Structure 1
Amino acid sequence: MNKLLSSMGVALGVTLAAPFAVAGGDAAKGQPLTAVCAACHSADGNSALASFPKLAGLGERYLLKQMKDIKSGARPIVEMTGLLDNMSDEDLANIAAYYNSKVTQLSGSKDFNILVNSGTEVNALELGTRVYRNGNKEAGIPACTGCHSPRGQGNEPAGYPRLSGQHADYIAKQLQDFRAGRRANDEAKVMRGVAERMTDAEITAVANFIAGLN
Protein backbone atom coordinates (compact mmCIF):
# COMPACT_ATOMS: atom_id res chain seq x y z
CA MET A 1 0.00 0.00 0.00
CA ASN A 2 2.78 2.44 0.94
CA LYS A 3 4.63 1.57 -2.26
CA LEU A 4 1.51 2.27 -4.31
CA LEU A 5 0.85 5.59 -2.61
CA SER A 6 4.50 6.50 -3.11
CA SER A 7 4.18 5.73 -6.82
CA MET A 8 1.09 7.92 -6.99
CA GLY A 9 3.07 10.73 -5.41
CA VAL A 10 5.85 10.28 -7.95
CA ALA A 11 3.36 10.37 -10.80
CA LEU A 12 1.78 13.52 -9.46
CA GLY A 13 5.18 15.09 -9.08
CA VAL A 14 6.09 14.21 -12.65
CA THR A 15 2.93 15.70 -14.08
CA LEU A 16 3.11 18.82 -11.96
CA ALA A 17 6.79 19.41 -12.54
CA ALA A 18 6.19 20.90 -15.97
CA PRO A 19 2.65 22.34 -15.87
CA PHE A 20 3.32 24.57 -18.87
CA ALA A 21 4.89 21.87 -21.05
CA VAL A 22 1.58 21.60 -22.90
CA ALA A 23 0.42 24.81 -24.53
CA GLY A 24 -3.31 25.39 -24.53
CA GLY A 25 -4.91 24.47 -27.83
CA ASP A 26 -7.41 26.44 -29.88
CA ALA A 27 -10.86 24.84 -29.71
CA ALA A 28 -12.11 26.74 -32.78
CA LYS A 29 -9.23 25.43 -34.87
CA GLY A 30 -9.73 21.97 -33.44
CA GLN A 31 -13.38 21.58 -34.43
CA PRO A 32 -12.85 21.03 -38.19
CA LEU A 33 -10.13 18.50 -37.40
CA THR A 34 -12.59 16.26 -35.52
CA ALA A 35 -14.65 15.19 -38.53
CA VAL A 36 -13.04 11.76 -38.57
CA CYS A 37 -13.36 11.49 -34.76
CA ALA A 38 -17.11 12.12 -34.81
CA ALA A 39 -17.90 8.76 -36.38
CA CYS A 40 -17.04 7.01 -33.11
CA HIS A 41 -17.00 9.76 -30.47
CA SER A 42 -19.84 11.97 -31.82
CA ALA A 43 -19.45 15.59 -32.85
CA ASP A 44 -19.61 16.86 -29.27
CA GLY A 45 -17.51 14.08 -27.80
CA ASN A 46 -20.42 12.26 -26.15
CA SER A 47 -20.18 8.90 -27.88
CA ALA A 48 -23.39 6.93 -28.25
CA LEU A 49 -21.72 3.51 -28.01
CA ALA A 50 -20.18 2.28 -24.76
CA SER A 51 -17.25 0.75 -26.63
CA PHE A 52 -16.03 4.24 -27.53
CA PRO A 53 -15.12 6.66 -24.72
CA LYS A 54 -16.73 10.01 -24.17
CA LEU A 55 -14.15 12.73 -24.84
CA ALA A 56 -16.23 15.74 -23.82
CA GLY A 57 -14.72 17.55 -20.83
CA LEU A 58 -12.19 14.77 -20.25
CA GLY A 59 -9.30 17.17 -19.61
CA GLU A 60 -7.14 18.92 -22.21
CA ARG A 61 -3.82 17.70 -20.88
CA TYR A 62 -5.05 14.11 -20.60
CA LEU A 63 -6.62 14.11 -24.07
CA LEU A 64 -3.43 15.42 -25.65
CA LYS A 65 -1.29 12.79 -23.92
CA GLN A 66 -3.58 9.98 -25.05
CA MET A 67 -3.54 11.14 -28.67
CA LYS A 68 0.24 11.46 -28.64
CA ASP A 69 0.54 7.99 -27.11
CA ILE A 70 -1.84 6.53 -29.69
CA LYS A 71 0.08 8.18 -32.51
CA SER A 72 3.45 6.97 -31.20
CA GLY A 73 2.19 3.46 -30.49
CA ALA A 74 2.62 3.75 -26.72
CA ARG A 75 -1.12 3.12 -26.45
CA PRO A 76 -2.14 0.85 -29.32
CA ILE A 77 -5.81 1.13 -30.34
CA VAL A 78 -6.68 -0.86 -33.44
CA GLU A 79 -9.63 1.32 -34.39
CA MET A 80 -7.40 4.41 -34.45
CA THR A 81 -4.52 2.96 -36.43
CA GLY A 82 -3.17 5.64 -38.77
CA LEU A 83 -5.88 8.20 -37.99
CA LEU A 84 -3.49 10.58 -36.23
CA ASP A 85 -0.39 9.97 -38.33
CA ASN A 86 -0.72 13.17 -40.34
CA MET A 87 -1.66 15.32 -37.35
CA SER A 88 0.91 17.76 -35.93
CA ASP A 89 1.32 18.36 -32.19
CA GLU A 90 -0.54 21.64 -32.71
CA ASP A 91 -3.40 19.81 -34.42
CA LEU A 92 -3.65 17.37 -31.53
CA ALA A 93 -3.58 20.21 -28.98
CA ASN A 94 -6.40 21.95 -30.85
CA ILE A 95 -8.48 18.75 -30.96
CA ALA A 96 -7.91 18.27 -27.23
CA ALA A 97 -9.02 21.85 -26.56
CA TYR A 98 -12.15 21.38 -28.67
CA TYR A 99 -13.32 18.21 -26.96
CA ASN A 100 -12.43 19.50 -23.53
CA SER A 101 -14.67 22.53 -24.16
CA LYS A 102 -17.73 20.30 -24.50
CA VAL A 103 -20.07 19.30 -21.68
CA THR A 104 -20.09 15.66 -20.59
CA GLN A 105 -23.46 13.94 -20.67
CA LEU A 106 -23.91 11.42 -17.85
CA SER A 107 -24.30 7.80 -18.88
CA GLY A 108 -26.08 6.95 -15.63
CA SER A 109 -25.62 4.18 -13.07
CA LYS A 110 -27.74 1.05 -12.73
CA ASP A 111 -29.06 -0.56 -9.57
CA PHE A 112 -28.25 -4.27 -9.46
CA ASN A 113 -26.69 -6.92 -7.26
CA ILE A 114 -23.28 -8.42 -7.93
CA LEU A 115 -21.54 -11.59 -6.76
CA VAL A 116 -18.32 -10.97 -4.82
CA ASN A 117 -15.49 -13.41 -4.18
CA SER A 118 -16.97 -14.59 -0.89
CA GLY A 119 -19.89 -16.00 -2.86
CA THR A 120 -22.46 -13.56 -1.54
CA GLU A 121 -24.41 -10.96 -3.48
CA VAL A 122 -24.09 -7.28 -2.64
CA ASN A 123 -25.59 -4.13 -4.07
CA ALA A 124 -23.33 -2.95 -6.90
CA LEU A 125 -23.97 0.75 -6.31
CA GLU A 126 -23.06 0.43 -2.64
CA LEU A 127 -19.90 -1.50 -3.46
CA GLY A 128 -18.93 0.94 -6.21
CA THR A 129 -19.50 3.93 -3.94
CA ARG A 130 -17.36 2.39 -1.22
CA VAL A 131 -14.47 1.53 -3.54
CA TYR A 132 -14.51 4.93 -5.26
CA ARG A 133 -14.69 6.95 -2.05
CA ASN A 134 -12.74 4.77 0.37
CA GLY A 135 -10.81 2.23 -1.67
CA ASN A 136 -10.15 -1.17 -0.10
CA LYS A 137 -7.53 -0.97 2.65
CA GLU A 138 -7.25 -4.73 3.05
CA ALA A 139 -6.38 -5.16 -0.63
CA GLY A 140 -4.23 -2.01 -0.76
CA ILE A 141 -6.57 -0.17 -3.13
CA PRO A 142 -6.54 3.62 -2.64
CA ALA A 143 -9.68 5.71 -3.05
CA CYS A 144 -10.29 6.97 -6.59
CA THR A 145 -11.06 10.40 -5.15
CA GLY A 146 -7.38 11.08 -4.52
CA CYS A 147 -6.64 11.56 -8.22
CA HIS A 148 -10.03 11.95 -9.86
CA SER A 149 -11.78 14.12 -7.19
CA PRO A 150 -14.84 13.26 -5.08
CA ARG A 151 -17.18 14.17 -7.94
CA GLY A 152 -15.09 12.50 -10.63
CA GLN A 153 -14.06 15.79 -12.21
CA GLY A 154 -10.40 14.76 -12.52
CA ASN A 155 -7.34 16.96 -12.04
CA GLU A 156 -6.45 18.98 -15.14
CA PRO A 157 -3.04 20.32 -13.98
CA ALA A 158 -1.92 16.80 -13.05
CA GLY A 159 -3.35 15.28 -16.22
CA TYR A 160 -5.81 12.99 -14.43
CA PRO A 161 -9.00 12.63 -16.51
CA ARG A 162 -12.58 13.35 -15.64
CA LEU A 163 -14.37 10.06 -14.99
CA SER A 164 -17.84 11.33 -14.13
CA GLY A 165 -20.44 10.22 -16.65
CA GLN A 166 -18.14 7.97 -18.69
CA HIS A 167 -19.58 4.74 -20.11
CA ALA A 168 -19.41 2.01 -17.45
CA ASP A 169 -18.38 -0.65 -19.98
CA TYR A 170 -15.52 1.52 -21.20
CA ILE A 171 -14.23 2.22 -17.69
CA ALA A 172 -14.43 -1.46 -16.79
CA LYS A 173 -12.46 -2.40 -19.90
CA GLN A 174 -9.72 0.14 -19.13
CA LEU A 175 -9.36 -1.20 -15.59
CA GLN A 176 -9.24 -4.76 -16.91
CA ASP A 177 -6.63 -3.74 -19.49
CA PHE A 178 -4.51 -1.98 -16.86
CA ARG A 179 -4.76 -5.06 -14.64
CA ALA A 180 -3.71 -7.39 -17.45
CA GLY A 181 -0.98 -5.06 -18.70
CA ARG A 182 -2.67 -4.58 -22.07
CA ARG A 183 -2.72 -0.85 -21.38
CA ALA A 184 0.56 0.49 -20.05
CA ASN A 185 0.73 4.23 -20.74
CA ASP A 186 -0.02 5.35 -17.19
CA GLU A 187 2.55 7.50 -15.36
CA ALA A 188 4.68 5.47 -12.91
CA LYS A 189 2.32 2.49 -13.34
CA VAL A 190 -0.20 4.13 -11.01
CA MET A 191 -3.33 2.69 -12.64
CA ARG A 192 -1.73 -0.69 -13.18
CA GLY A 193 -0.82 -0.75 -9.49
CA VAL A 194 -4.42 0.01 -8.53
CA ALA A 195 -6.15 -2.27 -11.02
CA GLU A 196 -4.01 -5.32 -10.26
CA ARG A 197 -5.50 -5.34 -6.75
CA MET A 198 -9.13 -5.07 -7.88
CA THR A 199 -11.51 -7.99 -8.26
CA ASP A 200 -13.86 -8.34 -11.21
CA ALA A 201 -16.77 -7.37 -8.94
CA GLU A 202 -15.00 -4.23 -7.72
CA ILE A 203 -14.17 -3.19 -11.28
CA THR A 204 -17.75 -3.68 -12.47
CA ALA A 205 -19.19 -1.93 -9.42
CA VAL A 206 -16.91 1.13 -9.45
CA ALA A 207 -17.35 1.56 -13.21
CA ASN A 208 -21.14 1.50 -12.78
CA PHE A 209 -20.95 4.04 -9.95
CA ILE A 210 -18.74 6.40 -11.96
CA ALA A 211 -21.14 6.37 -14.91
CA GLY A 212 -23.70 8.23 -12.81
CA LEU A 213 -21.33 10.25 -10.62
CA ASN A 214 -21.74 14.02 -10.82
Structure 2
Amino acid sequence: MKKVLMLVLTGLAVSVATSAWAEGGNAEAGKTKSATCAACHGADGNSVNPEWPKLAGQHPSYILKQLMNFKNDARVNASMSPMAKPLSDADMADLAAYFSSQVKKLGEADQTKVALGEQVYKGGNNATGVAACAACHGPTGAGNPAANFPSLNGQHVTYVKNQLLAFRTGARANDAGKMMRNVAAAMSDAEMDAVAEYIAGLK
Protein backbone atom coordinates (compact mmCIF):
# COMPACT_ATOMS: atom_id res chain seq x y z
CA MET A 1 0.00 0.00 0.00
CA LYS A 2 2.85 2.37 0.88
CA LYS A 3 4.46 1.71 -2.51
CA VAL A 4 1.20 2.48 -4.33
CA LEU A 5 0.79 5.69 -2.33
CA MET A 6 4.32 6.82 -3.22
CA LEU A 7 3.70 6.13 -6.90
CA VAL A 8 0.47 8.13 -6.83
CA LEU A 9 2.16 11.04 -5.05
CA THR A 10 5.01 11.04 -7.57
CA GLY A 11 2.47 11.00 -10.38
CA LEU A 12 0.65 13.91 -8.79
CA ALA A 13 3.82 16.00 -8.64
CA VAL A 14 4.54 15.42 -12.32
CA SER A 15 0.94 15.93 -13.39
CA VAL A 16 0.61 19.24 -11.52
CA ALA A 17 3.50 20.63 -13.57
CA THR A 18 2.07 19.19 -16.80
CA SER A 19 -1.41 20.45 -15.96
CA ALA A 20 -0.17 23.98 -15.37
CA TRP A 21 1.56 23.89 -18.75
CA ALA A 22 -1.55 22.50 -20.50
CA GLU A 23 -3.78 25.14 -18.91
CA GLY A 24 -1.78 27.78 -20.80
CA GLY A 25 -2.87 26.39 -24.17
CA ASN A 26 -5.04 28.39 -26.56
CA ALA A 27 -8.07 26.44 -27.79
CA GLU A 28 -8.67 28.69 -30.79
CA ALA A 29 -5.08 28.30 -31.93
CA GLY A 30 -5.40 24.58 -31.28
CA LYS A 31 -8.45 24.37 -33.54
CA THR A 32 -6.43 25.77 -36.42
CA LYS A 33 -3.50 23.47 -35.69
CA SER A 34 -5.77 20.42 -35.41
CA ALA A 35 -6.48 20.20 -39.16
CA THR A 36 -3.95 17.40 -39.58
CA CYS A 37 -5.21 15.57 -36.50
CA ALA A 38 -8.77 15.60 -37.84
CA ALA A 39 -7.99 12.96 -40.46
CA CYS A 40 -7.77 10.33 -37.72
CA HIS A 41 -9.35 11.86 -34.63
CA GLY A 42 -12.17 13.83 -36.25
CA ALA A 43 -12.52 17.60 -36.46
CA ASP A 44 -14.07 17.68 -32.99
CA GLY A 45 -11.93 14.92 -31.49
CA ASN A 46 -14.55 12.19 -31.95
CA SER A 47 -12.78 9.63 -34.12
CA VAL A 48 -14.85 7.40 -36.36
CA ASN A 49 -12.29 4.60 -36.59
CA PRO A 50 -12.50 2.53 -33.36
CA GLU A 51 -8.73 1.94 -33.40
CA TRP A 52 -8.07 5.65 -32.86
CA PRO A 53 -9.01 7.28 -29.56
CA LYS A 54 -11.62 9.92 -28.99
CA LEU A 55 -9.80 13.03 -27.76
CA ALA A 56 -12.87 15.19 -27.20
CA GLY A 57 -13.35 16.03 -23.55
CA GLN A 58 -10.10 14.39 -22.47
CA HIS A 59 -8.15 16.17 -19.72
CA PRO A 60 -5.72 18.66 -21.33
CA SER A 61 -2.85 17.56 -19.11
CA TYR A 62 -3.29 13.95 -20.26
CA ILE A 63 -3.38 14.89 -23.96
CA LEU A 64 -0.29 17.01 -23.47
CA LYS A 65 1.57 14.20 -21.70
CA GLN A 66 0.80 11.75 -24.49
CA LEU A 67 1.96 14.19 -27.17
CA MET A 68 5.15 14.81 -25.21
CA ASN A 69 5.68 11.06 -24.84
CA PHE A 70 5.19 10.46 -28.57
CA LYS A 71 7.63 13.29 -29.30
CA ASN A 72 10.36 11.94 -27.01
CA ASP A 73 9.70 8.23 -27.76
CA ALA A 74 8.47 7.36 -24.26
CA ARG A 75 5.40 6.13 -26.15
CA VAL A 76 5.87 4.80 -29.67
CA ASN A 77 3.28 4.50 -32.41
CA ALA A 78 3.90 4.29 -36.15
CA SER A 79 1.29 6.95 -36.89
CA MET A 80 1.52 9.28 -33.89
CA SER A 81 5.26 9.40 -33.28
CA PRO A 82 6.13 11.14 -36.58
CA MET A 83 3.14 13.49 -36.15
CA ALA A 84 4.35 14.62 -32.72
CA LYS A 85 8.04 15.08 -33.55
CA PRO A 86 7.70 18.52 -35.20
CA LEU A 87 5.28 19.93 -32.61
CA SER A 88 6.50 22.73 -30.38
CA ASP A 89 5.57 23.02 -26.70
CA ALA A 90 3.02 25.70 -27.64
CA ASP A 91 1.55 23.50 -30.39
CA MET A 92 1.02 20.64 -27.97
CA ALA A 93 -0.54 22.87 -25.31
CA ASP A 94 -2.86 24.47 -27.88
CA LEU A 95 -3.98 21.10 -29.26
CA ALA A 96 -4.60 19.82 -25.75
CA ALA A 97 -6.67 22.89 -24.95
CA TYR A 98 -8.75 22.53 -28.12
CA PHE A 99 -9.56 18.84 -27.94
CA SER A 100 -10.30 18.97 -24.21
CA SER A 101 -12.86 21.71 -24.87
CA GLN A 102 -14.86 19.53 -27.29
CA VAL A 103 -17.82 17.37 -26.30
CA LYS A 104 -17.25 13.62 -26.36
CA LYS A 105 -19.80 11.48 -28.18
CA LEU A 106 -20.53 8.55 -25.90
CA GLY A 107 -20.47 4.97 -27.09
CA GLU A 108 -22.56 1.83 -26.80
CA ALA A 109 -21.70 -1.31 -24.86
CA ASP A 110 -22.36 -4.95 -25.68
CA GLN A 111 -24.91 -5.72 -22.98
CA THR A 112 -23.93 -9.39 -22.92
CA LYS A 113 -20.50 -8.46 -21.55
CA VAL A 114 -21.13 -5.53 -19.22
CA ALA A 115 -21.86 -7.61 -16.10
CA LEU A 116 -18.30 -8.95 -15.98
CA GLY A 117 -16.97 -5.58 -17.13
CA GLU A 118 -18.73 -3.76 -14.31
CA GLN A 119 -17.51 -6.30 -11.78
CA VAL A 120 -13.87 -5.89 -12.79
CA TYR A 121 -14.11 -2.12 -13.33
CA LYS A 122 -15.65 -1.47 -9.92
CA GLY A 123 -14.17 -4.26 -7.81
CA GLY A 124 -11.22 -5.74 -9.67
CA ASN A 125 -10.40 -9.41 -9.22
CA ASN A 126 -8.93 -10.21 -5.82
CA ALA A 127 -8.11 -13.78 -6.80
CA THR A 128 -5.72 -12.71 -9.57
CA GLY A 129 -4.65 -9.33 -8.23
CA VAL A 130 -6.47 -7.14 -10.75
CA ALA A 131 -7.04 -3.71 -9.21
CA ALA A 132 -10.41 -1.99 -9.68
CA CYS A 133 -10.30 0.45 -12.59
CA ALA A 134 -12.59 2.81 -10.68
CA ALA A 135 -9.90 3.38 -8.04
CA CYS A 136 -8.00 5.60 -10.48
CA HIS A 137 -10.48 6.37 -13.27
CA GLY A 138 -13.51 7.02 -11.07
CA PRO A 139 -16.90 5.29 -10.88
CA THR A 140 -18.17 7.04 -14.02
CA GLY A 141 -14.87 6.83 -15.92
CA ALA A 142 -14.29 10.58 -15.67
CA GLY A 143 -10.67 10.06 -14.63
CA ASN A 144 -8.62 12.17 -12.25
CA PRO A 145 -6.91 15.16 -13.87
CA ALA A 146 -4.98 15.99 -10.69
CA ALA A 147 -3.23 12.61 -10.90
CA ASN A 148 -3.21 12.62 -14.73
CA PHE A 149 -5.44 9.54 -14.90
CA PRO A 150 -7.41 9.83 -18.16
CA SER A 151 -11.11 10.00 -18.73
CA LEU A 152 -12.28 6.66 -20.17
CA ASN A 153 -16.05 6.89 -20.42
CA GLY A 154 -17.43 6.44 -23.93
CA GLN A 155 -14.04 5.49 -25.40
CA HIS A 156 -13.93 3.04 -28.33
CA VAL A 157 -13.95 -0.63 -27.30
CA THR A 158 -11.23 -1.56 -29.80
CA TYR A 159 -8.93 1.25 -28.68
CA VAL A 160 -9.28 0.37 -24.99
CA LYS A 161 -8.60 -3.32 -25.64
CA ASN A 162 -5.58 -2.49 -27.78
CA GLN A 163 -4.12 -0.29 -25.05
CA LEU A 164 -4.66 -2.92 -22.36
CA LEU A 165 -2.92 -5.48 -24.56
CA ALA A 166 -0.08 -3.02 -25.23
CA PHE A 167 0.38 -2.47 -21.49
CA ARG A 168 0.31 -6.23 -20.90
CA THR A 169 3.04 -6.93 -23.47
CA GLY A 170 5.10 -3.86 -22.57
CA ALA A 171 4.63 -2.38 -26.05
CA ARG A 172 3.27 0.64 -24.18
CA ALA A 173 5.29 1.62 -21.14
CA ASN A 174 4.57 5.28 -20.41
CA ASP A 175 2.49 4.61 -17.29
CA ALA A 176 3.80 5.97 -14.00
CA GLY A 177 5.31 3.26 -11.80
CA LYS A 178 4.12 0.49 -14.15
CA MET A 179 0.63 0.91 -12.69
CA MET A 180 -1.21 -0.01 -15.88
CA ARG A 181 1.30 -2.66 -16.90
CA ASN A 182 0.85 -4.42 -13.57
CA VAL A 183 -2.95 -4.29 -13.84
CA ALA A 184 -3.03 -5.47 -17.45
CA ALA A 185 -0.56 -8.28 -16.76
CA ALA A 186 -3.06 -9.86 -14.37
CA MET A 187 -6.11 -9.46 -16.61
CA SER A 188 -7.51 -12.25 -18.75
CA ASP A 189 -8.54 -11.65 -22.36
CA ALA A 190 -12.19 -12.01 -21.30
CA GLU A 191 -11.76 -9.37 -18.57
CA MET A 192 -10.12 -6.95 -20.99
CA ASP A 193 -12.91 -7.44 -23.50
CA ALA A 194 -15.63 -7.00 -20.87
CA VAL A 195 -14.02 -3.94 -19.25
CA ALA A 196 -13.62 -2.27 -22.66
CA GLU A 197 -17.30 -2.85 -23.38
CA TYR A 198 -18.32 -1.52 -19.96
CA ILE A 199 -16.18 1.60 -20.41
CA ALA A 200 -17.73 2.29 -23.82
CA GLY A 201 -21.16 2.53 -22.21
CA LEU A 202 -20.14 4.62 -19.20
CA LYS A 203 -21.68 8.07 -18.98
Common fold by TM > 0.5 = yes
The SS at the match of 1:183 is coil
How far residue 183 of structure 1 moved from its aligned partner, in angstroms, is 0.5
Paired residues for 1:202-213 under 5 Å? 202-213=191-202
The SS at the match of 2:132 is coil
Judging by fraction of residues, say which structure has more helix: 2
State the Cα deviation string for residues 2-26 of structure 1 (Å, max 9, x = none). Answer: 5xx833x233211222514432111
The SS at the match of 1:82 is helix
For 2:116, the equivalent position in structure 1 comes to 127
Cα distance in structure 2, aligned partners of 1:189 and 1:100? 26
How far residue 111 of structure 1 moved from its aligned partner, in angstroms, is 2.1
For 1:11, the equivalent position in structure 2 comes to 7
Paired residues for 1:13-92 under 5 Å? 13-18=9-14, 19-21=16-18, 22-23=20-21, 24=23, 25-92=25-92
Match of 1:173 among 154, 162, 181: 162
Kept in 2: contact 1:178–1:195 (CA 8 A): yes
24-33 or 148-157, which deviates more: 24-33
For 1:150, the equivalent position in structure 2 comes to 139
Instruction: Give the total of aligned pairs.
Output: 199
Paired residues for 1:101-112 under 5 Å? 101-112=101-112
153-162 or 72-81, which deviates more: 72-81
Kept in 2: contact 1:57–1:101 (CA 8 A): yes
Once the two structures are aligned, what percentage of the paired residues are identical? 43
For 2:125, the equivalent position in structure 1 comes to 136
State the Cα deviation string for residues 50-94 of structure 1 (Å, max 9, x = none). Answer: 011100111111110000001111111101242122211111011
Q: Which letter does structure 2 place at the counterpart of 1:208?
A: E
Instruction: Return the TM-score normalized by structure 2.
Output: 0.94
The SS at the match of 2:146 is coil
Structure 1 unaligned residues grouped into runs of 5+: 113-123
Cα distance in structure 1, aligned partners of 2:164 and 2:114? 17
How far residue 147 of structure 1 moved from its aligned partner, in angstroms, is 0.6
For 2:94, the equivalent position in structure 1 comes to 94
Cα distance in structure 1, aligned partners of 2:128 and 2:180? 15
Cα distance in structure 2, aligned partners of 1:15 and 1:97? 21
How far residue 177 of structure 1 moved from its aligned partner, in angstroms, is 0.7
